[in-house]
Amino acid sequence: MAKKNLYVVGLDGGGTKTAAIIADLYGTLAGEAKGPASNFQVIGVEKASEALFAMVQECCRTVGCEFEDIACVLAGLTGAGRPSDKERMGEAFRSLSRKRGADFKNIRIESDARVALEGAFKGKPGIILIAGTGSITFGKDGKGSIYRAGGWGRTIGDEGGGYAIGRDGLNAVTRELDGRGEHTRLTKVVAEKFNLKDQESIIAAVYRDNFDLASLAPLVIETASTHDSVCEQIVDRAASELTDHIRAIAFKMGGKSIPLAFIGALLSAENALANALRKKIASALPHISIAQPLSPPAYGAVLMALDAAQSQR
């Protein structure tokens, strides 16, 4: 008969997909699984719990273990930044698991950013800058203290993120259409790709049809690479905002040499924003060294699960 508590499962869940890794108690990867979205803020805690449980179940099938062999399940989820949300999601997942015959003794819910930080440096100190629809920065020092800057949401924050860049881009288009602003190639690009070509279509899209402003960010960044001065200014401003995020965390950490990893759709490839940001960091924050993430967020969740399992022994 198999011994109990042989494995931990780490999950990384977002708005488009969920990734899971099962590892032994030494942190050695034993299996992986991928599944649908688990953003409980969008699909609800019940559906998110279903998605997470399916991933854990698949992991157990992969290694041939029982639910009782899992020492800890830790999920890093989009939208789980607040304690109340962690508790709400955790209770829902525990309830569903029990109904399915899995009385996991140790279930933890963390934010997706938190597990991404652990994964990027395999538990060691460093800073991650996440720039997707929004923007947020997390840092971890040598004592294990966690620091955060940004992540205030699109209404009052998320500077340098996709929503802010897209909003500024569409604003530049409206200014040109009015005759209040400079010419930008973005006006033609937006008209061709989204059929947003005049006041009527733009206002209807934004205020009636909930047009996704963040979807414009890649177009703004791409247009900036063609030396369009208006888009270059938008991208430069976004890079400055993201640099401020990093500066704030680096100051709090007080380190002389700190590694930094870029995470998120806007910075995952070579583009005008990533290039502008690298230049600003090199100039203003020479003690920051940019590095590739060492492992994915799901493995960061595994590392946190191992710590949680150890603490309960």
77 contacts 13 by C-beta, under 8 angstroms: yes
CATH code of 261's domain: 3.30.420.40
Q: What domain range is 26 assigned to? A: 7-121+296-311
Q: How many CB atoms lie within 10 A of CB 257?
A: 9
Domain count, the chain: 2
CA 158 – CA 81 distance, rounded (Å): 15
Please give the torsion angle defined by the CA atoms of residues 7, 8, 12 and 18, in that order, rounded to the nearest 10 degrees.
40
Predicted local confidence at residue 292, as pLDDT: 93
Q: Is 215 exposed, middle or buried (0-12, 13-18, 19+ CB in 10 A)?
A: middle
Q: Are residues 112 and 135 in the same domain?
A: no
DSSP-based three-state secondary structure for 137 = strand
Predicted local confidence at residue 2, as pLDDT: 45
DSSP-based three-state secondary structure for 3 = coil
Q: Are residues 72 and 134 in the same domain?
A: no
Alpha helices in the chain (DSSP H): 40-43, 45-63, 83-99, 112-120, 162-178, 186-194, 199-203, 217-224, 229-253, 272-284, 297-311
- DSSP strand pairing (258-263 vs 146-150): unpaired
Q: Are residues 49 and 79 in the same domain?
A: yes
Predicted local confidence at residue 16, as pLDDT: 80
Q: Is residue 28 part of a domain?
A: yes
pTM for the full model?
Answer: 0.86
Predicted local confidence at residue 311, as pLDDT: 76
235 contacts 273 by C-beta, under 8 angstroms: yes
Predicted local confidence at residue 65, as pLDDT: 92
Q: Is 29 exposed, middle or buried (0-12, 13-18, 19+ CB in 10 A)?
A: middle
Per the rule left: phi > 0, alpha: psi between -120 and 50, beta: everything else, 108 is: beta
Q: Is residue 79 part of a domain?
A: yes
Q: Count H helices, E strands: the chain?
A: 11, 10
38 contacts 77 by C-beta, under 8 angstroms: yes
pLDDT average per 10 residues of sequence, the chain (313 residues): 75 89 94 91 92 95 93 92 93 94 92 94 95 91 93 88 96 97 97 95 95 95 97 98 96 89 88 96 95 94 94 69
Which residue bears the tokens 């929004």? 134
Q: Are residues 173 and 59 in the same domain?
A: no
Interior/surface letters 227-250, b for 16+ CB within 10 angstroms, e for the rest: ebebbbebbbbbbebbbbbbbbbb
Q: Is residue 2 part of a domain?
A: no
> Across the strands, what pairs with 146?
140
Q: Is residue 235 part of a domain?
A: yes
75 contacts 57 by C-beta, under 8 angstroms: no
